Amino acid sequence: FDDFYEDLPAFKEVDLGEREELLLKKLQLCCFLFPFHDETHFMIDRIQEVKELKRLILLELVDLISTTKTWFSLDVLKAIIKMVSTNLFRTLPRSPLPDFDPEEDEPTLDPCWPHIQIVYEFLLRCVVSTDTEMALMRQHVTQDFVRRLLDLFDSEDPRERDYLKTIVHRIYGKFMGLRPFIRKSITNLFYEFIYESNRHNGAGELLEILGSIINGFALPVKPEHKWFLRNVLIPLHKVDALSMFHQQLTYCVTQFVEKDPTLSAVIIGGLLTFWPVTKSAKEVLFLSEVEEILEMTQVDEFELIMDPLFRRLAACISSTHFQVAERSLFLFNNDYITGLSIDFREKVLPVLLPSLRRNESHWNEIVRGLTANIVGLFEETDRDFLLECQEVLNVQLRAESETRIQQLKNWEYLQRLADINDVKKPIMIDVETKYDGSDISSETNEDLRFQLS
């Protein structure tokens, strides 16, 4: 600790020729790390004093880099990278909870933040500075340095992730040679997140960076970028913690559609593949995303995914979970989606009508009201076709009812036959004969055959 008590002058108190030596000395001092988690240390008072001295030196460094244009020598740059690496590249603190849920539990804030925040600010000022020699910077802002920065995105502290997002985005914009590496590294992080860990605290921030990158893609979209959409962004929808970054993910996906409208069919097809049929909260998110994509979908692409999409929407419309049913019905409040549905009503209405009919007895009043509105919409558009579809549906429902009645009779017959004959082995079933409901004699042979529909 004695070095911290050396009476070092302020930068403005020394000549320009001596400033670099003073800067190197202060950067070296800032490489010393202090325990922030142990408040019972026998030297706690002295440690607190020295920690404050380090904080003041860091603030002085930030002020220097913001006001001086002549400090970027090779030795200084090496010392800066060493100081930043020593302070930032560390084992991240984890929540003490064994089953940490980022949606429910409070994040673990890094106790070292009073120092780390200033180091991040210092690094940010270095990256954005226009007074640096890029040739020197490229020697030290390497792939390994960027990879270690990306690893820090898994920090539970949102303050740290916010700084990292800004810094990595600036590096991506300034160091063109690192751009493919950054995209590949983010891809690898997401692969691990999707297929191995199912947990990453910085997914939202990484997607924000990607959103800006995608927004800058040149046209036409390169095959490698389409590959990233199919193999990374779409599979990201299946992770459990989707709600934590769904907004950023939706933005990335819609950016692709804006760049290339033909990708809308690919995206909706992917959403249908990963549709969360057992997780109602995620279904609501998927429905919201589907609406955003459909608004940008052209007619040719709509025809490609119309049948599987509306079969899924039909299942959502009749969901017993009122939020799923309500959100799917709200899609038809969108004028563009309603227009597409009306234009293709000959294919859409027969798929939706059974679900709309079931919703007439839905337990939720709002769902019943929205259902009536949609039926009324089709009635105003083409009443004759609606009546025709309703008649076809009535015939199907009657046939299904008769089939269920016959199935019940067959199972009843099977049970009575087994009881009378005290069956100990499987009864043979014949598909040629249908039980008519007549009484069963006690003399009925035990291998009597009948039909099960």
Q: Name the residue among 17, 156, 137, 16 with its Cα closest to residue 84.
A: 137
pLDDT of residue 106: 76
Identify whether 15 is part of a domain: yes
User: Which own/partner contact pairs does 198-203 have at CB distance under 8 Å and 24+ positions apart?
Assistant: 198/239, 198/240, 198/241, 199/241, 200/153, 200/154, 201/102, 201/107, 201/153, 201/154, 201/155, 201/156, 201/161, 202/153, 202/154, 202/155, 202/161, 202/164, 203/236, 203/241, 203/244, 203/245, 203/248
Tokens of 310: 């509306």
**∠ CA 171-175-176 to the nearest 5 degrees?**
125
For residue 41, what pLDDT is reported?
A: 52
Q: Residue 321: which residues within 8 A CB-CB, separation 6 or more? A: 280, 283
Any domain includes 121: yes
What pLDDT is attached to residue 98?
60
User: Which of 49, 54, 64, 8 shows the shortest CA–CA distance to 31?
Assistant: 54
User: Cis omega (within 30 of 0) on the bond before 426?
Assistant: no
Residue 40 maps to a domain:
yes
Query: Distance (Å, rounded) from C-alpha 348 to C-alpha 309?
Result: 10
H or E stretch covering 237: none
Q: pLDDT tens digits for the chain (453 residues)? A: 455 546 677 888 777 778 888 889 999 989 988 766 655 554 566 777 888 888 999 999 999 888 877 666 888 899 999 999 999 999 887 766 666 666 667 777 888 899 999 999 999 999 998 877 788 888 889 999 999 999 999 999 999 999 999 999 999 999 999 999 999 999 999 999 999 988 899 999 999 999 999 999 999 999 999 999 999 999 999 999 999 999 999 999 999 999 999 999 999 999 999 999 999 999 999 999 999 999 999 999 999 999 999 999 999 999 999 999 999 999 999 999 999 999 999 999 999 999 999 999 999 999 999 999 999 999 999 999 999 999 999 999 999 999 999 999 999 988 888 888 765 555 555 544 555 555 554 444 444 444 443
Per-residue DSSP letters for 360-415? GG-S-HHHHHHHHHHHHHHHHH-HHHHHHHHHHHHHHHHHHHHHHHHHHHHHHHHH
**Residue 6 counted as domain residue:** yes
DSSP 232: I
Question: pTM here?
Answer: 0.86
Quote the pLDDT of residue 428. 56
Query: Does 28 fall in a domain?
Result: yes
Number of domains in the chain: 1
Domain presence at residue 437: no
Residue 1 lies in a domain: yes
Domain that holds residue 114: 1-91+107-140
pLDDT for residue 110: 82
Name the amino acid, one letter, at 152: L
Q: Could you say which DSSP state residue 156 is in?
A: S
Cβ neighbours for 405, distance < 8 A, ≥ 6 positions apart:
none
Contacts 24+ apart (CB under 8 A), 282-285: 282/242, 282/243, 283/316, 283/319, 283/321, 283/324, 283/327, 284/323, 284/324, 284/327, 285/242, 285/243, 285/246
The predicted structure's pLDDT at residue 309? 97
Within a domain: 68: yes
By CB neighbour count within 10 A (0-12 exposed, 13-18 middle, 19+ buried), where does 43 fall?
Answer: exposed
CA distances 413 to 417, 419, 436, 437, Å, are 6, 10, 9, 8
